[in-house]
């Protein structure tokens, strides 16, 4: 019975999420985009807007992604390393 309740709640969540998803191709509110395009060079002193977004506005996010990537590579190297037969 408990599994059935969990399944119904999970299915309801999935249906609700699918119903509320933003339709593909429709424009959304672009106030943030306009702000970044207009103020990126003055606030970050970067000539490239994409660079200013990646390294200044979303710096912690980029640092987190790099940490996850490094950890995944280090874990794969530990698992797939060859051990010398002595």
Q: What are 4-25's pLDDT values in tens digits? A: 999 999 999 999 999 988 888 8
**12 part of a folded domain:** no
Averaged in consecutive runs of 10 residues, what is the pLDDT profile of the chain (86 residues)? Answer: 94 94 80 89 89 86 92 94 74
Cα separation, 38 vs 51, whole angstroms: 14
What's phi and psi for 49, nearest 5 deg? Answer: -65, -40
**14 part of a folded domain:** no
* Contact yes or no for 58/41 (Cβ under 8 A): no
**10 part of a folded domain:** no
Please give the tally of structural domains in the chain: 1
Q: What is the pLDDT of residue 56?
A: 86
Q: What is the pLDDT of residue 86?
A: 62
**18 part of a folded domain:** no
Range of the domain at 60: 25-86
**30 part of a folded domain:** yes
């Amino acid at each position: 019975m408990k599994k059935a309740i969990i399944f119904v709640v999970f299915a309801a969540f999935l249906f609700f999420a699918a119903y509320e998803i933003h339709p593909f191709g429709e424009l959304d509110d672009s106030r943030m985009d306009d702000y970044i395009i207009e103020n990126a060079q003055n606030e970050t002193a970067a000539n490239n807007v994409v660079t200013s977004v990646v390294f200044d506005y979303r710096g912690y996010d980029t640092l987190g992604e790099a940490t996850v990537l490094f950890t995944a590579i280090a874990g794969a190297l530990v698992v797939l390393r060859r051990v010398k037969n002595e």
